[in-house]
Structures are given as C-alpha cells and as structure tokens.
Chain A
Amino acid sequence: MQRIFQIDGEETECWLGHDGSRFVLNTPNGTVACQLDPTGLPGGYTLRAKGVVRELRLAVGPEATFVHMNGRTYEVGRADPAERLAGSDGGTGDDRLVAPMPGVVVSAAVKPGDTVKEGQPLLVIESMKLETTLTAPRDGVVAEMPFAEGDSFGLKDILAQLAPEEE
C-alpha cells in the first residue's frame, strides 16, 4: 500500500508491506523494517527502525502526522496517491485561489454564479495584520466561495473556485 509523505516540502513515495512477522517500509533510499508500540502516555509510542529505538509522541491530523521526537517536533504530510489521482479532475491550479497564508476574509466582492474578468477583485483577506486583495486568475464564472466575511481560513485552503473552462 502506498503513501506519499511530505517532510520540509520534499515529497517521498513509500510502500508499506508486512512480511508475516513485521512491517517493512520501502523508501527510495531502501527498505526499513519497523515496529511501533504504544507506551501508555497520550500519543506515546516506541519506534524501532533502522536499528534504533526512539520514544516519541505522535498525533494524526487529517492531512499530516505530527511527531515529537529527539526534543523536536516534525510535521509529516500524508497523501494517498490513488486519491490524489482521483481528485485531480476537480479543476486545474488556474481555476482556484489558494490561500497563501492563514487569515480572515475581510470582504467578498463576488458570489457564486457571477461572471468575472481576469484581474477583477474577488475578495479581500487579512493575514498577519496586512490586507491583501485577491483577484481573478482568468475570465470565468465563480463556482464556489467557501468562506464568508469574517471566516478564518488556513494555509492552502481554497478561497475561490472558478467553473472549469469549456473547451
């Protein structure tokens, strides 16, 4: 079974298997026999892999796994390659406005169904005490505006979606 993991912006495709007695993670760097056992602490585990034993704390979020190990915290993004392939027909990058950073919607200038021109202001957001106006990436029709005035959004959330272009 495959997963794509993302650490510090770098993606690695891995395959997890089980040889009857233990788990084996196949990475581009080689094969890692590994074992994870709970310690009893909330989110506490002992990881055995690559000949080392590490105590860690771990929490599984919707898109990333957070790992506290060796006194530091790491974020490991997870994606299922099959879902990623299936989800890719939802529109191209050109169709959406993706949040460059977390923030709040100050005002929305358009609503779903509106026809917009390239460069037309769609919404004003506030992030890190700065207001930014986001504009339409191309001519088209607004399909979705998932956030209303006053709503908070996260990094990479889709703030506006245009209907796919008809060829």
Chain B
Amino acid sequence: MTISKLLVANRGEIAARVLRTAKARGLATAVLRHVAEQEGPAHLIADEIVMIDGPTPVAAYLDIPQIVDAAKKIGADAVHPGYGFLSENAAFVAALEEAGVTFVGPTSETIDLMGDKIRARAFVEERGFPVAPSAIEDDDPATFVERARAVGYPLLIKPSAGGGGKGMRVVREDSTLETEIETARREGQRYFGDGRLFVECYIERPRHIEVQVMGDGQGNVVHFWERECSIQRRFQKIIEETPSPALTPEQRDEICETAAGIARAVKYRGAGTVEFIYAQDGAFYFLEMNTRLQVEHPVTELVTGFDLVAEQLRIAAGEGLSATQANIPQTGHSIELRVCAEDATADFRPSIGDLLLLDEPSGPGVRVDSGILDGGKVTTDFDPMLSKLIVHGRDRVEAIARARQAVQNYVVLGVTTNTGYLDAILAHPDFASGDVSTGFLAEQSETLTAPGEDISDLLMAAAALSDERLVSDVMQIPEMHRKMGGWRN
C-alpha cells in the first residue's frame, strides 16, 4: 500500500503545510484550485495543480465526484483532506475506497460514529469514559423530571432538535425546574416544531481542553498531549496553546490517557482529537471527537518535535506509528495565534481587500503557516483566516513574550486584521495567569478592543506625506503661497 502520489483536497495554509511534508517524504504532489481562486502558497509548492469548478468556490471543494475523478485522472494513489471541507465526510471516504484511492484518515465507520453526537456520546459512556451527567427525555418520558432532578444543579435544558442556543435554559433551583421544562418545551415547539428535551449538567466557566491522538488502525494508540483552546470568539478558537496552564501533571496524565482510551476503543486510524469540557473544579467530560488533523496541530508539533502530517502519511501507507508513548516528549511551551481578516472592534466582521504589503515575522521559535501571498486578494469566498503564527519558548512566559513580539512585527497591510486584538489578549493579566474560560473574550470584550494611545496626528502626517497627489499639488503652489502654509481663505 505504498503511496507515491498525493492529492491534497484542500487549499490555503493547510494545503501548503501538508504539501511541504509530502514533498520532503519524496512523494509526487498535487493540489486543487478553483478557477476563480487567488494563487496561494500551496500552488507554488505542488508539482501539479488540478483546476476544479462549481457554482461557488466552496461548493467545488465539497464536490465528491469531481474530486474523486481528479484523483483518478492524475493517478494519485492517496488523498489528504486537510481540515474542513470533506475531511469528515464518510461518503467521500467510501467513494475514494471504491475508486481504489487511499484516504489519509480514519475509516468511514469511525467518521460516521463520531460525526453523530448522540451515538458518539453513548459509545463513550458505555465504555466507562466520563460524559457530562444528563437525562434524555426520549429514553423514558414518564421519569424525565425525576431523572433531570438527579443530574443536579445548575443544569441546562436543551431542545433535542435544537441548535444555536435557542430554547436553552439554565436552572439553578429545584423549585423552578418544572416550570422551566414547560417553557423550554414551548420554545422547542416554536423554533424547531419539536418539544422533546434533554438536560445536562451546566458547567460554569468551562475550559476547552483537547488531546491529540494517533492510531494505527490495529488498536495501537498514542497521545501527543493536550491543547488548551479556551480563547474563542463566536464559538471559534483563535488562540491555542500547549501545555494547558490549568492542568496538574496528574490531571494531564488522566485526561490524555482517557483520550487515548477512547481512540483505542474504536481502533482509531490516523490523527484525531478528543475534545473535553473541563470544569473549574478539575472534572472533565467528553465533548466530541474530531476525526481529522486540527487547525491548531502545530503547537503539538513544536512541543513534541513530531511532524504529525508525516505520521498520518506513514499510517496511511501501512507503516504504522513511528512513536511509542514513552518517546513523545512535551518540551517547553507553544502558542498559536490565528491571524484573520476581520475587524475585532465591529463584532469580528470579515474584511476583504488587496494585500498591499505582507511581511511575516521570523526568528528563533517562530513559525508561520500562511495561506496568502504578497499582492494577493482577500475575498469572502473562503474562511477569513489568513495564516497561523506559532511560537515556541522554554516556558509559558517566554512563549507569550515571543508571541507578542512576533504578532507586533506581523505586517499585513490592505485589509483589516486581528493582529492588534491578538496582542491585546496576550497582554491581558488574566491570560498571563491562565485564568480563562471559553467566555473570556466575550466577558473582556471592552478591555480587549479599547483604543490605545491617541497617535492620530502621527498617522495623519504619514497618510498626508505618502499621498503622492497631495504632495505634488502642495509643491506646485507658488513659493509665496506655500510659505503661508496653514492659511485658508
């Protein structure tokens, strides 16, 4: 099952990152490009580019028959899906299998199981791993209130058919449980046409901690330690780090072993991530398993020294794991910042425009996984993430200092980016002390977007003197008038 030619069915920074490792391993490489898409770093690295088309660029990257055909046409014997798009699509995996092309990732059965939140939760719970205490009405409607009460307070009522926070109610006292259940049922009926409910234990100020695992598909699984991902805006992570500042060594071993145990239970193949909700008292509960490489995988690479894409390719080629648990270190500290084209002072509204000047930081312990090129264009066709800035330091203090220096030196001109906002987060005392939860950015939004020192006079001077037409007009005014400077009639 050797792999000699790899098609990367993705774009942007992750396509470039996967291609680099594939080339270093001596593979022939190819990548997709939509007909209307800007040239990116991946197109400069790949040996071959396959043009794809669709009603929208995103639709083209989700077009299973077109991408399977592309793989066959160019003679690729494996496809790496990156993250997003078709990376967790069981039908894509099945279509590739049928075409005799290796999918770099888990089996379609694993993707199916972990993609269904209720089945995944039940699977994990049945095998004795921790899930948040809950009660599902459908299991036995007659005893629902009783079982909800047994979950304990505070608890959260959710419509079974729900999503997006609609109809969710937090209950803190037993006296209001039954009336809140009835209210939630009416809301569920109104929003989703379905009044069935479930309740789960409500975790105050939770952290999001996840564990990188890797399996050979035969039941051998190792973990590559945890990542702390509590810094989120609009339910999306923007800063991740490892190790987590919240865990003691004992808790770290426990959460990492739990994740490896869950992956072992499904005979996991390839790279995966087990996500947990971590309560302030140290309890943690299974949230979900992502059956792909994560955006934030580089922090793991910098503290362990392993190339996770190389491991994925080894496993896909049937060569097994290169690591045993004992030789996976966790050295120093790593932080990733997601640089996005968005305005943090305007509810993270995405920004578009021409990239007029790009100068990425570099230096000891600094890595940039970039999806953009100088002179390119930022459009709304894809996600607003432009690149990832990843740093490594001997300890957390040094990593934060390096991250701040690197993000301050990151020059992206032409679109609004979040670099200043990322720096403000790193400078916040609660971030420095590690005292954060997934609500941190929302709670601190005013502090984090507060305007800095007023330097508008300097900015206007720079803008005026770099305005060629303005300067040339000024210099054409006869000497005498020019001397009058600020005179206006």
A residues adjacent to B (C-beta < 8 A): 1, 3, 5, 7-8, 10, 12, 14-20, 23-27, 29, 31-32, 34-36, 41-43, 45, 47, 49-50, 52, 54, 56-61, 65-76, 78, 101-104, 127-128, 150, 152, 154-155
Contact = CB atoms under 8 A, between A and B. Distances in A.
B482 interface: yes
Contact of B412 (A12, A73, A128): A73
Contacts of B459: 5, 7, 67, 69, 74, 76
Given A42-B359, A128-B350, 19 more contacts: A5-B464, A7-B456, A16-B470, A19-B482, A20-B483, A25-B464, A32-B461, A34-B464, A36-B461, A47-B458, A47-B462, A49-B461, A50-B457, A50-B458, A59-B357, A75-B416, A104-B381, A127-B380, A155-B351
Given A17-B486, A27-B457, A32-B461, A66 B357 contact: yes
Nearest to A14: B460
- The 7 tightest CB contacts between A and B, nearest first, are A71-B408, A59-B356, A17-B485, A66-B413, A26-B486, A36-B465, A59-B413
B479 A73 contact: no
Interface in B415-474: 416-417, 419-420, 423, 451-452, 455-468, 470-471, 473-474
Given A12-B460, A18-B475, A104-B381, A72 B423 contact: yes
21 contacts: A1-B474, A5-B460, A15-B488, A17-B474, A17-B485, A20-B479, A23-B465, A23-B471, A36-B466, A47-B465, A50-B458, A57-B359, A65-B467, A68-B413, A69-B459, A72-B420, A74-B459, A78-B467, A101-B349, A128-B349, A152-B380
Contacts, number: 183
B160 to A, nearest CB: 24
B461 A3 contact: no
B360 to A, nearest CB: 12
A103 B379 CA distance: 8
A69 B455 contact: yes
Nearest to A77: B463
Interface residues of B, number: 55
Chain A interface SS verdict (over half): strand
Given A26-B485, A155-B349, A155-B351, A43 B461 contact: no
B414 interface: yes
B353 interface: yes
A25 B461 contact: yes
Interface in B364-418: 379-381, 408-409, 411-414, 416-417
Given A150-B56, A154-B352, A18 B463 contact: no
B1 interface: no
Contact of B466 (A12, A26, A29, A65): A65
Nearest to B407: A71
B381 A16 contact: no
B55 interface: yes
B484 interface: yes
B354 interface: yes
Contacts of B414: 59, 61, 66
A42 B358 CA distance: 9
B486 A15 contact: yes
Contact of A43 (B350, B357, B380): B357
Contacts of A25: 457, 460-461, 464
Contacts of A12: 456, 460
A34 to B, nearest CB: 4
Contacts of B460: 5, 7, 12, 14, 25, 27, 76
Contacts of B485: 17-19, 24, 26, 31
A160 to B, nearest CB: 18
A15 B414 CA distance: 25
Contacts of A17: 474, 477, 482, 484-486
Contact of A61 (B353, B456, B473, B483): B353
A55 to B, nearest CB: 11
Given A15-B488, A150-B55, A152-B380, A66 B356 contact: yes
Interface string B26-64: 000000000000000000000000000001100000000
Contacts of A50: 457-458
A24 B357 CA distance: 27
B384 to A, nearest CB: 9
A143 B82 CA distance: 45
A11 B317 CA distance: 61
Interface string B60-89: 000000000000000000000000000000
Nearest to A101: B349
B452 A72 contact: yes
